[in-house]
Structure 1
Amino acid sequence: MTTALPERDGHEAVVTLDRREGPFGEVVLRQRGRHYEIIANGCFLMDTADGRSERLLVQAALDELDRTGAAVTAPSVLIGGLGVGFSLAYAVAEPRWGRIAIVERENAIIDWHRSGPLGGFSGGALDDERVEVIHTDLLGYLAASDGERYDALCLDIDNGPDWTVTDSNSGLYGADGLAVLWHRLRPGGVLAVWSAQPSPDFEEALRAAGFADVVSREVPVSRGVPDVVHLARRSG
């Protein structure tokens, strides 16, 4: 059953399409006009209105592998967070990627792509033979001592290093979390992290954790500060 919400400030009406309670709280799929929004525990996470920065997350990682000469045949990539599917669809559209692992902890979001309206934005990418959907918490998956290493890690978790909806996600951006990310990259591998705003403190944390070639690429948005993709490389 869908629930129509009143128009707010002259904007389009909001319709709640699905609401689930999971181990990490409530997750909601809403429709606003022709766009869809994901809300977690009452906080806006992402929508389908743009997607440029989510695509840049993947493209910038591949460009950095090419730039440093670290790219191997069919490099592997892990995408942290399925979201509305822009990053995964962009990765699948690039034939140079080999293994594409997508880690998503919310079963509801996976369902909305497999049999719901978000499938139109991921474009059937979950069925690509290179793709493995890993339904688990990203932090737990990365911390596994016997985990495989990747040529690129592309992380779109919460709203970035300085503003997390789920408190436990902040551990990903601290010293211990960055050490885990460093070890999950192959030598020369690239880390790309999406953020809702620039974070000079996170850049410094990356350098302190031993990452090289730390840069940030901004993507202008219609309102507010630009989205950012933080890039860094494991040098050894």
Structure 2
Amino acid sequence: MTSATPPTAADFFTRTAERAPRVLDRRDGPYGEIVLRQRGADPEAVFEIIANGCFLMDTSDGRSERLLIRAALDAAAVPRPSVLVGGLGAGFSLAEAAADPAVSRITVLEREEAVVRWHSGPLARFSAGALDDPRTQVVTADLLDHLRGTRDRWDVVCLDIDNGPEWTVTDANGGLYGFAGLTVLQRALAPTGVLAVWSAAPASDFEERLRARFQRVRRLDVEVKRGAPDVVYLASQVQ
């Protein structure tokens, strides 16, 4: 029996390079740098979005993003719900909303134009054609700025903008999860509407603020391969 040839230094660097992410696009936008990276080769490739050097999300597992939508729609319990998706990201949340034929309209607020463009290219499979759904409207704007200037109301408002209320992509996003931001979000909800917020980890201070503003608050944990579970917070004024 012959022994395997030990790896050389060249082999090590080749394998390391193969595992390293490949930058597909890098742009300087109004909120800083945003990057799309790819790990591995198709069809198993994983795509990553990096904002201002902070890992934001990838396409490896969209269970919690889909749960964000599904749980909120179930809690809203109206025949033809309207949905606001804050943050297009990898597209899992939008795809879940569009997959429900009962949803009457979907508004997507994504402040990074580059992210919207990526869904006409490498990320198209993950949003599953939902951007072309006639029920879908994509608005390229900051969430709070847009909501302050509109009288529209939604039955479901789902936020998947940061890594969570306590881990924001930019400092300015912190205001979204404070009492002032919750006031704006409450005004965007129909009377029986449901607010759903995604977080990469439990956010106890934010949960306390939700309980101070809403009659009913629930926390749903989604186990992940490593670290703390992803969390979806649901809040409404209906017991």
Same fold by TM (over 0.5)? yes
Output the CA distance in 2 between the equivalents of 1:130 and 1:222: 34
The residue number in structure 1 matching 2:134 is 129
Output the CA distance in 2 between the equivalents of 1:189 and 1:11: 47
The equivalences for 1:70-219 within 5 A come to 71=78, 73-114=79-120, 116-144=121-149, 146-209=150-213, 211-219=214-222
Deviations 1:35-94 (CA, angstroms, capped at 9, x unpaired): 00000011100000000000000001011112xxxx1x3110100000010000111111
Moved runs in structure 1, 4+ residues, more than 3 A? Answer: 6-11
Deviations 1:147-205 (CA, angstroms, capped at 9, x unpaired): 21110100001111111121111101000000111111011100000001011211110
* Change over 3 Å in CA distance of 1:215–1:10 after alignment to 2: farther
1:41 aligns with 2:46: no
Cα RMSD, aligned residues only? 1.7
- State the one-letter code of the partner of 1:76: S
1:8 shift after superposition:
8.8
1:10 shift after superposition:
8.8
What is the aligned length? 223
1:26 aligns with 2:33: yes
Q: What is the percent sequence identity of the aligned residues?
A: 60
Deviations 1:136-157 (CA, angstroms, capped at 9, x unpaired): 111101122x421110100001
Deviations 1:189-236 (CA, angstroms, capped at 9, x unpaired): 000000010112111101212x12101000001111000000000349
- State the one-letter code of the partner of 2:220: R
* Change over 3 Å in CA distance of 1:214–1:10 after alignment to 2: farther
| Structure 1 SS opposite 2:119 | helix
Output the CA distance in 1 between the equivalents of 2:192 and 2:14: 50
| Structure 2 SS opposite 1:31 | strand
Deviations 1:93-129 (CA, angstroms, capped at 9, x unpaired): 1111111000001000000002x10001111110001
CA contact (8 A) 1:141 1:147 kept: no
Q: Judge which range, 9-18 or 120-129, deviates more.
A: 9-18
Q: Which has the larger radius of gyration?
A: 2
Output the CA distance in 2 between the equivalents of 1:138 and 1:51: 22
Stretches of structure 2 lacking an aligned partner (at least 5 in a row)? 1-12
Output the CA distance in 2 between the equivalents of 1:61 and 1:108: 28
1:7 shift after superposition:
7.5
The residue number in structure 1 matching 2:61 is 50
TM-score (norm 1): 0.91
* Change over 3 Å in CA distance of 1:8–1:60 after alignment to 2: farther
Output the CA distance in 1 between the equivalents of 2:14 and 2:161: 29
Deviations 1:18-48 (CA, angstroms, capped at 9, x unpaired): 0001000000000011100000011100000
